[in-house]
Copies of this chain bind each other. A is one copy, B any other.
Amino acid sequence: MNGQILYQHVARIGLAASNPHRLRALNLLAQSEKSVDVLADLLGLSLAATSAHLKVLRSACLVDSRKEGRNVFYRLADESVGSLLLSLRRTGERLLPEIREVVRDYHEDRDAMSQLIGEELLDRVRSGAVTLIDLRPDMEYRAGHFPGARSVPVDQLEQFIGSAGKRKPIVAYCRGPYCVAALEGVTRLREAKLNATRLEWGVLEWREAGLPLERENAA
């Protein structure tokens, strides 16, 4: 029980979390498993660089992988990895002035609907008072989404806009608080005169709050 050595191992996890690309990768993998080239594309890195980052994450045992055909799919080793990421993010939001500032600026122009989370939101979705849409790619939606949410990947947003009523409130969510896609989606919905707001939460926040997720049964 030598603390010296044990903290050396814990530091491997800190090391894995010491690079922004790796943190983004963890957040992406928290949505659903992904192949290296998809991840490289999403991160804006070369295949080799992405592979190297994943190697670091695996050496910290934060991710696992599975080979299928010529793809290697990476996934979080455990739900606890998502909790750790959340813990890091929240510590940052609480302590780092640069993040506090951005979060505060963002919150200034939010409205009542975006504060509607958890059970209360679920109730309104169930009763049909609110339309909840998931802006992530279909694969991520299928891997786990908020109950009652409808999948509207960004490339299908125009279709959705055409079919939606102007009145009924729409709540959109994406990959979590730092994800820009939801913001952009809401902007487009509002430009189409729809009553849309953004929900900051992603599946990590949702699960951590003890709320249930729905999963599409894979074929």
> Which residues on B sit within 8 Å (CB–CB) of A95?
13, 60-62, 77-78, 80-81
Task: Decide if A88 touches B180 in the complex (CB within 8 Å).
Answer: no
Chain A interface main SS type: helix
Task: Decide if B11 touches A20 in the complex (CB within 8 Å).
Answer: yes
Q: Is A83 an interface residue (CB 8 A)?
A: yes
Task: Decide if B96 touches A12 in the complex (CB within 8 Å).
Answer: yes
> How many whole Å from A180's CB to the nearest CB in chain B?
6
The answer for the CA separation of A13 and B86 in the assembled complex, in Å, is: 13
The answer for the CA separation of A88 and B27 in the assembled complex, in Å, is: 17
The answer for the CA separation of A10 and B91 in the assembled complex, in Å, is: 8
Which residues does A use to contact B, with CB under 8 Å? 1-24, 27, 60-62, 77-78, 80-81, 83-84, 87-92, 94-99, 102, 106, 177-180, 183
